[in-house]
Amino acid sequence: MSSLGHAQQFEPGAATADRRLNLVGLSRDELTAELASIGAPPFRARQLWHWIYHRGVTDFAAMSSLAKDFRARLAERYVIQRPAVNRALQSVDGTRKWLLAFPDGQEVEAVHIPESDRGTLCVSSQVGCTLTCRFCHTGTQRLVRNLSAAEIVGQVMLARDALGEWPSPQDGRLLSNIVMMGMGEPLYNYDNVAKALKIVMDGEGISISKRRITLSTAGVVPMIRRCGAELNVNLAISLHAVTDEIRDEIVPINRKYPIAELLDACRSYPGLNNARRITFEYVMLRDVNDSPADARALVRLLKGIPAKVNLIPFNPWPGSPFECSTDEVIAQFSQIVFDAGYASPVRTPRGQDIMAACGQLKSESVRLRASQRAAAHG
């Protein structure tokens, strides 16, 4: 288990306890306007942007391209803050998880998953979730609020701090990809997610391309269209069932936006081709959605959509009403989808010893203590 040095309070886009404004999470235009309010011209905003998002500097005194008195004026009014880190855990497989705390006492988690050719950060968009998908642990959490843009960008910056990855490297990055697959439904917090992702994608800063960002949604159809038009990041759809009858039960947002409408929105998502496909996530639930007939129905549904299928072994949690399909059943399902011409990898669980896996991004202190024990013994 590793632990991080940051213990500051994190008050995104708002006056901090000492009344200074956090600059993290402001759009370029907002930063320019903010600096104009203290009489600084637009090129100063650009310099600051470089220091904050390319160099990762948190102390104005280190901004050597700015005059000393200007640095001092900035430090009087502003701060550059990260989320507070309540816990940092590292799995035997290299997966890292940070439990982040906000000033209102709410916590979310961010998870970094290293692989041979990339490193992916799983980012949360909300505290809790309103969707109540039956197999997901986050849905059982009572408190829900949206994260601000600063709280979302802050997860990326904090991970980059911990990985020692400033200034933004050209390539070979440890944090090369982002998936909006943590806690929450990103398309129910679209404005803040969009603002945060625009900051993250900005070529003069963190500079992670839209091709390396995937937004996962349970299917907020109208917002899928907006996301395509405005952000055009990769899309992942939590499909999980092939009939409205079953999907109504396990992914209740289906009652509002049924499968046909959802797939229509997918079909018209801009920029799709064989090299840029929609990922359909499908959690394998024993005797619920895992028959060969289900696999064949899935293939029929996906017809005409550049798609790949990600089969996720169900991750049980205490009291969860499902079991994971057997390995044989998963392999058979995968084969049917593969034979129809779709990539159908089975997701390997990562970071199990630190409870980093799908649907377990939950931060009750009881569960946290359990995960610390697991990490200590791992």
Q: Which residues are catalytic?
A: 109, 358
- Nearest Cα to 309, choosing from 330, 281, 286? 281
Strands (E), the chain: 21-22, 78-79, 84-90, 96-101, 107-114, 119-122, 126-127, 145-146, 177-180, 213-217, 234-238, 278-284, 307-313
**Which residue of the chain is nearest ligand SAH when measured via CB?**
359
CB of 103 to ligand SAH, least distance (A): 24
**119 binding ligand SAH? (CB under 6 A):** no
Q: Is 312 in the site for ligand SAH (CB under 6 A)?
A: yes
Is 315 a binding residue for ligand SAH by CB under 6 A? The answer is yes
Q: Which distant-in-sequence residues (6+ apart) come within 8 Å of 274 by Cβ?
A: 306
Q: Does the footprint of ligand SAH cover residue 144 (CB under 6 A)? A: no
Q: Scanning residues 177 to 196, which ones bind ligand SAH (CB under 6 A)?
A: 181, 185
How many of the chain's residues bind ligand SAH (CB under 6 A)?
17
Q: Which is nearer to ligand SAH, 132 or 268 (CB)?
A: 132
Q: Does 358 bind ligand SAH (CB under 6 A)?
A: yes
Residues in the chain: 378
**Does 314 participate in binding ligand SAH (rule CB under 6 A)?**
yes
Q: Binding to ligand SAH by residue 128, rule CB under 6 A? A: no
The residue (of 140 and 207) whose beta carbon lies closer to ligand SAH is 140
| 3-class secondary-structure state, position 312 | strand
SS3 260: helix
Out of 84, 241, 283, 356, the only residue in the binding site for ligand SAH (CB under 6 A) is: 283
Secondary structure (3-state) at 275:
coil
Site membership for ligand SAH, residue 109 (CB under 6 A): no
Alpha carbons 252 and 132: distance in angstroms, whole number: 7
Buried (b) or exposed (e) across 195-233, using 16+ Cβ within 10 A? bbbbbbbbeebbbbebebbbbbbbbbbebbeebbeebeb
Residue choice 58, 177, 216, 344 for contact with ligand SAH (CB under 6 A): 216
Q: Which of 120, 192, 238, 334 binds ligand SAH (CB under 6 A)?
A: 238
Binding of ligand SAH by 136 (CB under 6 A) = yes
Could you tell me if 101 and 86 are in contact, meaning their C-beta atoms sit under 8 angstroms apart?
A: yes
Measured from the CB atom, the residue of 128 and 359 that comes closer to ligand SAH is 359
From 216, 369, 52, select the one nearest 377 (Cα to Cα): 369
Contact positions toward ligand SAH, by CB under 6 A?
133, 135-137, 181, 185, 216-218, 238, 281, 283, 312, 314-315, 358-359
